[in-house]
Amino acid sequence: MQFANNPERECILDQVLDARTLPEIAAVTELLREWLRLNPSDTGIREAFGGLSLMRDIAEEQKAERVHPAQKTVAAA
């Protein structure tokens, strides 16, 4: 099956690119899983998981930073 120019697929990939928060990433991960369940030979969608994984790591680091901001140390004079 040819996947290029499939509007639903393009919409999913757009959501992958736009996902920044952990809830957005979780939602689009489920979309990817469902697409792959129906289209297991779509290697492009499989590759999108890698980018999404990186975005999840970044979002988790940002969340941790907001919860526990880095403490600045002041050098004694």
CA distance to 13, 24, 54, per residue, from 7 (Å):
10, 20, 25
CA distance 19 to 41: 24
Domain coordinates in residue numbering, the chain? 7-67
pLDDT at 49: 87
Closest by CA position to 28, among listed 12, 11, 47: 12
pLDDT tens track for 18-76: 999 999 999 999 999 999 999 999 998 989 988 898 999 999 998 888 887 765 555 55
More confident residue, 74 or 12: 12
